[in-house]
Each structure stands twice: as C-alpha cells, then as structure tokens.
Structure 1
Amino acid sequence: MNTYVRIVVALLLGAFTFAVTTLVVTAGFEPGIEFSLLIGLPVGVSAGLTALFAGYVLLWHRDQAAVGEVPDRVVRLRLAALATIADFFVVTVAGVILYTLADGSMGIGLLVAGLPVTLPLAAVVGYLAAGGSHRGQGGPRTQ
C-alpha cells in the first residue's frame, strides 16, 4: 500500500473513531452531567489519536510483512500501537466503573486527564518492551 493511501486510511479511521466515541460518551454521560460534551471531547480526541496511530502502524506492519522481512523498528512500533489500544480500553473501563460505582469525580478525572497521560506512556512502554529481545533469541514474531 502506498504511504499516502496509508495516511489517508489512518486519518479516516481516526476521524471516524473520534466522532463515534465523542457522540457515545457525550450521550452516555448526558443524563447525569449537564455539560457532558466536556467529557466526551477529551475521550474522543484520545480515541481518535489512538486509532490514527494504531491504524497507520498496523497497516505499515502488514505491508512490511507482505513484502518479506519486517524491520525491528516496525515490530516495536506495532507493539507500541497494541499497547496504546489496550491502555485505552483498560483506562476507559476503569474510569466508567469508578464513575458508576465509586466516586463520580474520580472516574471523570481518569477519563479526562488519565487517558492523555497514560496513552503515550503505554506507547513508550510497548516500544521499549519489544526492544530488549534479539532476533536469534526468540524475539517477537511478526507473522
């Protein structure tokens, strides 16, 4: 796949994810919070940027795997993308559970402020965790 096509697909995926997540979160918090868009927008931006990053990297990894040998950098970025996806879902579920079962403001704080902090950290941890292995010693499998 051409690099420009990969960029356009990742941008469309990010924009779609942003729009859907913002609408769903805003509608979900609307019965209990008057200005629920103030929660929906940060969560939507986090979801859109995660989808943009992961979409581009996973398409790039797929293209490299189709050609042949996948460079270590691409494997490391793939694991970073998967770590950000997992982090987004874990932090979002934790925030919603905290909001509904415990303290509402703590759950909202985790959704609004926690996601933008933990997503880059998860990407860095995923990237660095994949860097310690060597190809000859059973490193990450690409296919």
Structure 2
Amino acid sequence: MNTYVRIVVALLLGAFAFAVTTVAVTAGFEPQIEFSLLIGLPMGVSAGLTALFAGYVLLLHRDQAALGTVSKRAVRLRLAALAAVADFVVVTAVGVGLYAFADASIGIGLLVAGLPVTLVLAAGVGYLVVDRDRSEQAGPRTQ
C-alpha cells in the first residue's frame, strides 16, 4: 500500500473514532452532567489519536509482512500501538466504573486528564519492551 493511502486511511479511521467517541460519551453523560461535551471532547481526541496511530502502524506492519521484510522498528511500533489500544480500553472501563460506582469526580478526572497521559506511557513502554536483538529470544540455549 502506498504511504499516502496508508496516511489517508489512518486519518479517516482517526476522524471516525473521534466522532463516534465524542458523540457517544457526550450523549452518555448528558443526563447526569450539564456540560458533558467537556468530557466527550477529550475522550474523542484520545480515541481519535489512538486510532490514527494504531491504524497507520498496523497497516505499515501488514504491508511489510506481505513483502516478507518486517523491520524491527515496525515490530516495536506495532507493540506500542497495541499497548495504546489496550490502555484506552482498560482506562476507559476503569474511569467509567469509578464514575458509576465510587466517586464521580475521580472517574471524570481519570477519563479527561489521566487517559491521555496513560496512552503516551503505554505506547512508550510498549515500544521499549521489545528487545533490540530478537535472535536472543529464539529459545533456551544449552552449552
């Protein structure tokens, strides 16, 4: 796939995730919170940027795998993208759970301020976890 096509597809995926998340979160919090858009917009931006990053990286990895030459950088970026998506799902579930069952202000704080921070941390940790030399992971060695 051409790089420009990959960028356009990732941008469309990010815009779609932004729109759907913003509308869903705003509508979900509207009965309880008057200015629910103040929660929906940061959540939508986080979802859109996560989808943009993950979409581009996973398409890049897929294209390299089809050619049979997957670079170490693509493997590291793929793990970073998967970690960011998993973090988005987990932190969103925890934030909504805290809002519904414990303290509403802590849940909203986690969704609005904590989610962007944890997304960057998860992507960074995911990128750094993959060893630079994958040949050492071939299996146990005997002498």
Shorter-chain TM-score tier: over 0.9
Match of 1:96 in 2: 96
Q: How does 1:1-143 map to 2 (within 5 A)?
A: 1-131=1-131, 134-138=134-138
Q: CA deviation at 1:10?
A: 0.1
Query: Which stretches of structure 1, 4 residues or more, deviate above 6 A after TM superposition?
Result: none
Tell me the distance in 2 between the aligned counterparts of 1:28 and 1:22: 10
Q: Counterpart amino acid of 1:120?
A: V
Secondary structure of 2:81's counterpart equals helix
Q: Deviations over 1:56-77 (max 9, x none)?
A: 0000000000001211000000
State the Cα distance separating 1:44 from its structure 2 match: 0.3
TM-score (norm 2): 0.94
Unaligned segments of structure 1, at least 5 residues: none
Distance in 2 between residues matched to 1:32 and 1:81, nearest whole Å: 33
* Aligned AA (1:42): P
Residue by residue over 1:84-104, the C-alpha shift from the partner in whole angstroms, topping out at 9 and shown as x without a partner, is: 000000000000000000000
Give, in angstroms, the shift of residue 130 of structure 1: 1.0
| Alignment coverage as a number of residue pairs | 139
Structure with max Cα Rg: 2
Counterparts of 1:61 and 1:127, CA distance in 2: 14
Q: Which runs of 5+ in 2 are unaligned?
A: none
| Matches of 2:67 and 2:2, distance apart in 1 | 13
| Backbone CA RMSD of aligned residues | 1.2
**Partner of 1:131: helix, strand, or coil?**
coil
Q: Give percent identity, aligned residues only.
A: 77
